[in-house]
Structure 1
Amino acid sequence: MAKISEAERLQIFKDLVAIKSVNTDEETVSEYLKDLLAKHGIEATIIPVSEHRTDLQAEIGSGKPVLGISGHMDVVSAGDESQWTSDPFTLTERDGKLYGRGAADMKSGLAAMVIAMIDIHDQDLLKTGTIRLMATMGEEVGELGSRTFAKNGAMTDVDALIIGEPSGYRIAYAHKGSMDIRLTSTGKAAHSSMPGQGYNAIDPLIELLHDANHQFRGADKHNQLLGDLSFNTTIFQGGNQVNSIPERAVAEINARTIPEFDNDVAEQLLDQLVEKWNKRGAKLSKETYMSQPSVETLGDPDLISLAQSIAKPYAGHDIEAGAIPAVTDASNMLADKPKDFPFIIFGPGSQSVHQVNEYVDKQMYLNFVDIYEQLFTEYLENKH
């Protein structure tokens, strides 16, 4: 069979962007990909995770080594669509760029991986080993899809992993962890002219946040590759009327963790602060509703150097390798892997992720199909 043409590569990408998988309905993406793969004789399995939300797994080849390739099928909301120059769910080309929600994060990377896999299969380019596609749901919120893959054993025999998140012509092999935490303070309502009859829920919550900021930011913990720990209150809600003592206040926090100050340490510190202020009369509670550990691999030289050498002619410059600040599905998929496990984040995209008029460079997207084809096959051949 002939390789998938440029027009077909663009049409597949366009089809994926048209599916409004905004934090939901990855089932439709899974069905599209399963049908596409089936047309080329590749069997795929749709894995239910929750209602209308699925993972998808497919593979070509057989035996060891096993190369895992992964991308997520969900996207974030387009926000105020009137602010977009064109329909966010219609892939639109302008000045060599392809615009649409998920164009960078990460339907371009997902499309490029799937097309590369199809071309490798159709051209009989895979001489040894297995390529396993793990397309995930829910990466943008909660990462339940990658947790499902980790729990069902899909990563057990995988010898290397490539995640196609939008790094552009740059490679990452580490990233910070992330935690989303909700702190709730309960008080007693009263008229503001008689505050002694109530208890202001805002006051102890502000005191706790000030204490937490001081302790987190003063922790003096640094990772040479990942940088510093961060702790930010991003949502604060309290009170409902200016002349009433508020009976409830809520703060939501995002922390970006490093191995030297990991999620468990952050949990313990916040628990201690809640206990401290409750002993002083507050009624505070803590809920951690998202916790993803940092990923710090050693940077496998074989995988990284191969990817660098293959991508350099397309980029026209040397390919740097390092860390990224964002969190990926690797937090779950590498949970039981050693630090020397071969892993990279490498995919088409731009810094426009999650923004109005999100885009990917058209030629970069097309190039990554070719980069992936060469990278997947050569890595497995070299490791045989």
Structure 2
Amino acid sequence: MEFEKIMKLAQKYEPEITKFLRDMIAIPSESCQEEKVVLRIKEEMEKVGFDKVEIDPMGNILGFIGHGKHLIAMDAHIDTVGVGNPENWKYDPYKGYEDDEIIVGRGASDQEGGMASMVYAGKIIKELGLEADYTLVIVGSVQEEDCDGLCWQYIIQEDKLRPEFVVSTEPTDGKIYRGQRGRMEIRVKTTGVSCHGSAPERGDNAIYKMGPILSDLKALHENLMDHDFLGKGSLTVSEIFHTSPSRCAVADSCWISIDRRLTAGETGDYAIQQIKNLPSVKAANAEVTMYLYERPAYTGLVYPTECYFPTWLIENEHPVCHTLVDAYRGLFKEAPQVDKWTFSTNGVSIMGRFGIPCIGFGPGHEDQAHAPNERTWKKELVNCAAMYAAIPMIYAKEYAGKMTDRTKNLV
């Protein structure tokens, strides 16, 4: 493997990578509004020489390099969250900021930096003739911030694209990540009977029924499963709503949203049943359900899914993990740290639902995600471009024949 040549080219293309990233940052691209940034990515893929570029009916962009039998994918979601309170930003979130080391702007770490590095990895592969018996597909996926993994449900089930493994380019703080906790969005609803607030005894207050449930949920969080690598499951109440005829009336319904994080061994059914079994939930005859996501993509396509995002994990000795470790050692002459994400990624569908091995290496840091003055580091963009160029060749030469049923889908 020509590691030195790969690194030199990645360093050479730092200005182009930087400009491309800043162009993407300058285009507001919140979930379901990604069309303009997708078209900008298409322009760059074609410019650097991708063999084929497609935009699917959901609006995901897929760029292909090579025509070999081993299908490998790399993924970056190219939607972002909003900017929040503009007063918290030192720099304009779309005009951004740049110096010799960093780039600032919404999407810099989460997660358009990964796309910039991937596209220029494609250029490096072409320029150095690193194509072998593989086909590499670079995916810019949509709606991840709204509904992580929905894009890959569509890609796998409707586009009929099923790679041998996927590299997620979400930010990994310079480490290799091999798993994450899953998550769910759960709704708990109580109902009552309204009446005039001057005589509340005539009614049945749905908000009061929710009070003991909130206490039981807080206690449940403290007693959830733990895992030696992924960590503990968690639960928090994130929203509360009610209906009432007026402010002078007893509430006739109340519902809450729960953000439930799932560790290894916790399934969606298990988490729902835990809540249904709470004494306060039974006493209130509360309804416990999972939210449904059905917001249209920017193309107008609606692809409904339950808001259940399964846990996933691959073992240290998996061929895909070895592939990335070998690439890292070859390029940087040291051993990488192998860890996990705190937040959720498209891996919830890629591996959590479909059992396709997924692993992470991406520019930027987790603590920059959704933060004001979000930034990424130019050195990491370069390093990632080099990694993405090396990974397919190493896999095709060393590990494609060693893929077995060792993949662990732990949910």
TM range (shorter): 0.7 to 0.9
Give the equivalent residue in structure 2 for 1:251: 256
After TM superposition, list the pairs within 5 Å mapping 1:74-113 onto structure 2: 74-94=79-99, 96-113=101-118
Note if 1:367 corresponds to 2:383. yes
Note if 1:323 corresponds to 2:340. yes
Letter in 1 for 2:13: S
CA distance in structure 1 between the partners assigned to 2:343 and 2:324 by the alignment = 21
Deviation at residue 64 of structure 1 after TM alignment: 2.3
CA distance in structure 2 between the partners assigned to 1:191 and 1:133 by the alignment = 60
Write out per-residue CA displacement over residues 191-210 of structure 1, whole angstroms, 9 at most, x where no aligned residue.
Answer: 43311112111111222232
Give the superposed CA RMSD: 2.6
**Residue aligned with 2:60, SS:** strand
| 8 Å CA contact retained: 1:38, 1:44 | yes
Give the equivalent residue in structure 1 for 2:41: 33
Give the equivalent residue in structure 2 for 1:288: 291
Q: Structure 1 unaligned runs (5+)?
A: none
Letter in 2 for 1:31: L
**Residue aligned with 2:291, SS:** strand
| 8 Å CA contact retained: 1:192, 1:245 | yes
| 8 Å CA contact retained: 2:230, 2:264 | no
Write out per-residue CA displacement over residues 162-202 of structure 1, whole angstroms, 9 at most, x where no aligned residue.
Answer: 11000021111111110111223232333433111121111
When residues 83 and 138 of structure 1 are mapped into structure 2, their CA distance, relative to the original with a 3 A threshold, is same
Note if 1:47 corresponds to 2:56. yes
When residues 238 and 31 of structure 1 are mapped into structure 2, their CA distance, relative to the original with a 3 A threshold, is same
Deviation at residue 278 of structure 1 after TM alignment: 7.2
CA distance in structure 2 between the partners assigned to 1:300 and 1:283 by the alignment = 45
Give the equivalent residue in structure 1 for 2:25: 17
Deviates more, 1:173-182 or 1:241-250: 241-250
CA distance in structure 2 between the partners assigned to 1:249 and 1:101 by the alignment = 35
Give the equivalent residue in structure 2 for 1:223: 227
- Alignment length, in residue pairs? 373
When residues 92 and 312 of structure 1 are mapped into structure 2, their CA distance, relative to the original with a 3 A threshold, is farther
Identity %: 23
Give the equivalent residue in structure 1 for 2:16: 8
Q: Structure 2 unaligned runs (5+)?
A: 1-8, 293-306, 401-411
Deviation at residue 19 of structure 1 after TM alignment: 1.6
Write out per-residue CA displacement over residues 146-166 of structure 1, whole angstroms, 9 at most, x where no aligned residue.
Answer: 21112125443x222111000
Tell me which protein shows more strand as a share of its residues: 1
Give the equivalent residue in structure 1 for 2:394: 378
Tell me which of 226, 235, 238 is aligned to 1:234: 238
Deviation at residue 129 of structure 1 after TM alignment: 1.2
CA distance in structure 2 between the partners assigned to 1:376 and 1:281 by the alignment = 55
**Residue aligned with 1:311, SS:** helix
CA distance in structure 2 between the partners assigned to 1:68 and 1:110 by the alignment = 12
**Residue aligned with 1:381, SS:** helix
| 8 Å CA contact retained: 2:50, 2:122 | no
TM-score, with normalisation over the residues of structure 1? 0.88
Note if 1:70 corresponds to 2:75. yes
When residues 130 and 300 of structure 1 are mapped into structure 2, their CA distance, relative to the original with a 3 A threshold, is farther
When residues 283 and 226 of structure 1 are mapped into structure 2, their CA distance, relative to the original with a 3 A threshold, is closer
Deviates more, 1:107-116 or 1:4-13: 4-13
Note if 1:261 corresponds to 2:278. no
Deviation at residue 368 of structure 1 after TM alignment: 1.5
Give the equivalent residue in structure 2 for 1:173: 178
**Residue aligned with 2:362, SS:** coil
Give the equivalent residue in structure 1 for 2:275: 270
TM-score, with normalisation over the residues of structure 2? 0.82
| 8 Å CA contact retained: 2:170, 2:363 | yes
Letter in 2 for 1:102: G
**Residue aligned with 1:190, SS:** coil
CA distance in structure 2 between the partners assigned to 1:245 and 1:236 by the alignment = 16
CA distance in structure 2 between the partners assigned to 1:173 and 1:285 by the alignment = 32
When residues 36 and 47 of structure 1 are mapped into structure 2, their CA distance, relative to the original with a 3 A threshold, is same
**Residue aligned with 1:231, SS:** strand
When residues 322 and 191 of structure 1 are mapped into structure 2, their CA distance, relative to the original with a 3 A threshold, is same
| 8 Å CA contact retained: 2:364, 2:375 | yes
Deviation at residue 103 of structure 1 after TM alignment: 0.3
Give the equivalent residue in structure 1 for 2:374: 358
Write out per-residue CA displacement over residues 123-148 of structure 1, whole angstroms, 9 at most, x where no aligned residue.
Answer: 32212211122221111111321211
CA distance in structure 1 between the partners assigned to 2:337 and 2:89 by the alignment = 32
Write out per-residue CA displacement over residues 304-332 of structure 1, whole angstroms, 9 at most, x where no aligned residue.
Answer: 34433543587786421122221111111
Tell me which of 316, 325, 347 is aligned to 2:362: 347
Write out per-residue CA displacement over residues 334-373 of structure 1, whole angstroms, 9 at most, x where no aligned residue.
Answer: 24655xx643111000221110000011221122212221
Write out per-residue CA displacement over residues 2-29 of structure 1, whole angstroms, 9 at most, x where no aligned residue.
Answer: 9873322111111111121111222222
Letter in 1 for 2:180: H
Note if 1:149 corresponds to 2:164. no
**Residue aligned with 1:223, SS:** coil
**Residue aligned with 1:106, SS:** helix
CA distance in structure 2 between the partners assigned to 1:154 and 1:113 by the alignment = 22
